[in-house]
Structure 1
Amino acid sequence: MPGTESNEPDESWEYSLSLPNDLRAVTVSRRTLRLILTVHGLIRLVDVAELLAAELVSNAVCHAKGPAALRVCWSAGVLRIGAWDADPQPPGPPHSFEQALDLEGGRGLALVRACSDLWGWQPLTRDGSRGKYVWCELAGVA
């Protein structure tokens, strides 16, 4: 019906949220992601997606100087969550989950690798700033 919103999860969509270099951006990102997934009928993905977004955004604001951004996309039954930061250096290799348990820091990418179906990174320029985009995917099918 024209003019009505659809909550069908098979429709493609994308959201982007610009973030300051501030640790409070992690909370803002998690709450925004929860709202996005809820309104699109993907509540079953919220808990894992929030964890993944928090790790990606935390890395972006803790390890890079300058702004960051969260990008959330849904297409063909796959949720992609990514964080851009202004540091063009690649992320360090993730530790295994078992190794990460013994570390005080450095668990973020190990959690991303363990909890997502696929993850990666790529160099990416945003608003004229060189940087990188670290992303992960979750299959939306239960």
Structure 2
Amino acid sequence: MVTVSPYDTWAYALRLPHDPRAARVARMTVRTVLHSHGRSELLNTVELLASELVTNSYRHAGGPSSLRLTALGDGRLRVGVWDGHPRIPAPFGAPPGDRAPLAPPDGEGGRGLCLVQEYADCWGGWSLGDGLLDRGAGKLLWFEVGG
């Protein structure tokens, strides 16, 4: 008889200032958390995709962001990035099958969301509603890997 241990569940949240070093801090946090929980097999994918979402937040939201890592009971890892900008980009806010627009071959950016849709098992986004003084409460973009 084989005994199977359920995966540990845990969650970490990190508030990131609007700073160009935020993506580096997010990568270091992902690396430390995954190593400490014995989930190094997810490291390259999660580090890349989390860094892309945090970078997009820095470039487009103009304010602080938050990173949340959540280990789910079935072995999956969910990564969420919140920011104060209300727009949910494709492929996060559209029906399944929607694709992020391709970046121009000579463009310096525009590939991060394509990487998420290629390497994550699933992804999505939620609008967090209206905020005070005509400012939205922002959005949460997430992806899952593993399991």
Question: What TM-score range do you get, normalising by the shorter chain?
Answer: 0.7 to 0.9
Deviations 1:38-92 (A, max 9, x none): 0000011111110011001001111102110001000021111111001111124
For the pair 1:74 / 2:71, whether they are aligned, the reply is yes
Q: Report SS of the residue matched to 1:111.
A: helix
**For the Cα contact (< 8 Å) 1:116–1:138, is it kept in 2?**
yes
Give TM-score, length-normalised by structure 2: 0.80
Match for residue 20 of structure 2? 23
Letter in 1 for 2:57: A
SS for the counterpart of 2:145 is strand
Residue 95 of structure 2 corresponds to none
The partner residue of 1:135 within 130, 135, 142 is 142
Which one of 103, 106, 111 corresponds to residue 100 of structure 1?
103
Specify every segment of 5 or more residues in structure 2 that has no aligned partner in the other structure, as ranges.
92-99
* Aligned-partner residue type, residue 107 of structure 1: R
Q: Secondary structure at the match of 2:85?
A: coil
Tell me the amino acid that sits aligned with residue 88 of structure 1: P
Residue by residue over 1:99-121, the C-alpha shift from the partner in whole angstroms, topping out at 9 and shown as x without a partner, is: 33724321110011111111111
Q: Distance in 1 between matches of 2:81 and 2:116?
A: 12
Coordinate RMSD, CA, aligned? 2.1
How many residue pairs align between the two structures?
Answer: 129
Partner amino acid for 1:135?
W
Alignment of 1:1-142 (within 5 A): 10-75=7-72, 76-93=74-91, 94-95=100-101, 99-100=102-103, 102=105, 103-124=107-128, 130-140=137-147
Question: Does the 8 Å CA contact 1:52/1:112 hold for their aligned counterparts?
Answer: yes
The residue type paired with residue 79 of structure 1 is L
Task: List per-residue Cα deviations over 1:20-53 (Å, max 9, x = no partner).
Answer: 0111010000001100000000011111110011
Unmatched segments (≥5 aa) in structure 1: 1-7
One-letter amino acid of the structure 2 residue matched with residue 83 of structure 1: V
TM-score w.r.t. length of structure 1: 0.83
Secondary structure of the structure 1 residue equivalent to 2:51: helix
**2 CA distance for matches of 1:16 and 1:86?**
16
List 4+ stretches of structure 1 deviating above 3 A.
none
